[in-house]
Amino acid sequence: MKKLTNAICRRLGISDPRYIEIESKMRVLPEEAKDVHDYLLERKKIKHVKRVTFFDQFLDTPGLELLRRGVSLRLRYKGDGTKVYLQYKGPGFHRQGLLYRSEFSSGRLDHLVREESHHDIIHFKEASIRGILRGVDPEMSSAMRRHLGTSVIARISRSPILCSYQKDKFRVDLGPAFLEPSLDRLFAFHINAKGPHALSTLWEYENEIKTESENLDAKLEFLPELVRFNRALSKKFALKIERLDKYHRCASCFLSWD
């Protein structure tokens, strides 16, 4: 198992397996969304945890270099909008319908100046991404430098995609690990200086292996349970495997890239 863990870390360009995320993503037809929700809600072994609402501001360079490299960087606003976090997801790979990637989150950014805008394109006034990274987990800033390089990080200055979404979280206990299926409704906006905001509404199902200690061995051990759970759900509903993360799926509605 240690060799497999090391191999995954090398492929993802990180040093600590605690930051490895393994999840499945599937598109949900709008007309089936309620039925999928009711199915998850009514199953005895599936516990509904909560419904939460997030607002994400996806950050990029003017040339969309993060989008092109398959990574995402976002400011996440929780609660009443005053709880702000920086989250980064590195480039990943797919295996047997599952997405493996690195995932990092900062602590709460109370000092962040949120926006200065003339055309609803976000600019940073008193805080740069490089400045913010000096105060976050060293693993996060190191991963970003390895994946992107300092010159790309220095060019991050805009927010082409805003996304608000409602997430219904569920939980399936597996002993030392648990599944966290969720049903998300996304409201994606494209920020365009030449016109009004474009809007697209999407539905998505996610499922992820989690452990209390973020132990990768336990996650890998219970991957068959994740696959079986998704297979049973797919037999009842017309779910299609989604290979794009939220940033790239939302951007695909509005933008084109190589």
- Tokens standing for residue 135: 């105060």
Q: In whole angstroms, how far apart are CA 78 and each of 41, 51, 58, 128, 216?
A: 24, 13, 15, 21, 27
The pLDDT confidence band at residue 127, using thresholds 50, 70 and 90, is low
31 vs 46: CA distance, rounded Å: 22
pTM: 0.88
The pLDDT confidence band at residue 213, using thresholds 50, 70 and 90, is confident
**Domain 2-252: assigned CATH number:** 2.40.320.10
Domain ranges of the chain: 2-252
For the segment 62-120, what is each residue's pLDDT rounded down to a tens digit? 899 999 999 999 988 887 667 788 999 999 999 988 999 999 998 887 765 445 444 44
Longest CA span, the chain: 53
Contacts of 244 (CB under 8 A, 6+ apart): 25, 252
The pLDDT score that the predictor gives to residue 113 is 43
